[in-house]
Amino acid sequence: MIEQNKPEVLRMEIESLSRNEEFARVVAAVFMARMDPTLEELDDVKTAVSEAVTNAVIHGYESKGGIVYMEVIIEGQILTIKIRDTGVGIANIPRAMEPMFTTDPEGERSGMGFSFMEAFMDEVLVESEPGKGTSVTMKKKIKG
Amino acid sequence: MKKPLFTYEADGHVLIVHLPEELDHHNCTGLKFETDLILSENYIRRIVFDFSRTTFMDSSGIGVLLNRYKQMALSGGSVTIYGAGAQVLRILKMGGILRLMKLYDSKEGAVTS
């Protein structure tokens, strides 16, 4: 018998490659499927994971590669996802989280990554230190 | 051979861009280069984005749509969308895209209206 309230944890390390953005969001979605989420909740989480991993690939590691760490924790109805990199870090977190703020000179990036994470998850916590890396912790209650 | 992510279709001065299943940062990489090339060599008055195959989009998709809109707005052209499903529609709304681009149910509407 599996204990119902024991937290279940998934830990994953992947190369910081753009093709792993899809891989990470699909893995998170498959793992959380046991929480019996609605399709909308699945989409919410996939989008938030995609944003966080894309940030790690583009900004954390400046597209030069590294390791992206993902941890997904299920505790009852609460889903927690941590995406972490050991890249360049963010000096000014409030500014980075401003809607439409982007460092991309080409203008091809919308600057809405953090706004989307906040819109689709209940809680988003960003911790970062320049030169050490960034960690994004997101929580969402899955009502199903 | 790998299937191309984006396929392009010309209809007079209209450029129809058929988008891939997953419109994320990884898949968006080639779109700017390809559309820039097409826009520089053809007289295009409207870009139509076909989302009918697309099941996932994130803010990277919003970024490329906004940039194509800016390009077309500069030359007095327009951008329209058709075939958007539930997930795509939520992202389009949240990204403010529906204030800039008209949404149609069918390709015909998006191309001709």
Residue A140 pLDDT more than 70? yes
Taking residues A103-107, report their average pLDDT. 83
Residue B66: per-residue pLDDT: 95
The DSSP 8-state label assigned to residue B113 in this structure reads -
Q: Of all residues in chain B, what percent carry a pLDDT higher than 90?
A: 89
Residue B1 has pLDDT above 70, yes or no: no
- Is B74 a domain residue? yes
What is the domain-level CATH number for residue A53? Answer: 3.30.565.10
Looking at the domain assignment, is residue B94 inside a domain? yes
Query: Which CATH number covers residue B102?
Result: 3.30.750.24
Q: What is the pTM of this model?
A: 0.94
Q: How many structural domains compose chain A? A: 1
The mean per-residue pLDDT over the stretch A70-86 comes to 98
Interface of B with A in 12-71 (CB under 8 A): 22, 24-26, 28-29, 32, 56, 58-60, 62-64, 66-67, 70
* Interchain CB distance below 8 Å, B56 and A43: yes
Q: What is the pLDDT of residue B2?
A: 67
Summarize the confidence of residues A73-101 as an average pLDDT.
Answer: 97
Is A109 one of the annotated active-site residues of the chain?
yes
For helices A39-55 and B59-74, the axis angle rounded to 10 degrees is 80
**Mean pLDDT taken over chain B:** 94
Q: How confident is the model at residue B4 (pLDDT cuts 50, 70, 90)?
A: confident
Specify if A2 maps to a domain.
no
B29, B32, B95 member nearest A110 (Cβ): B95
Domain assignment present for residue B2? The answer is no
Q: A3-56, pLDDT tens digit by residue?
A: 567 899 999 999 999 999 999 999 999 999 999 999 999 999 999 999 999 999
Domain range holding A30? Answer: 8-141
| Interface test with chain B among A47, A63, A101, A103, by most B beta carbons within 10 Å | A47
pLDDT digits (tens, 9 = 90+) for B81-94: 999 999 999 999 99
Per-residue pLDDT at A4: 63
Of A3-12, A27-36, B32-41, B63-72, least confident by mean pLDDT is A3-12
The answer as to whether A1 is a domain residue is no
Number of domains in chain B: 1
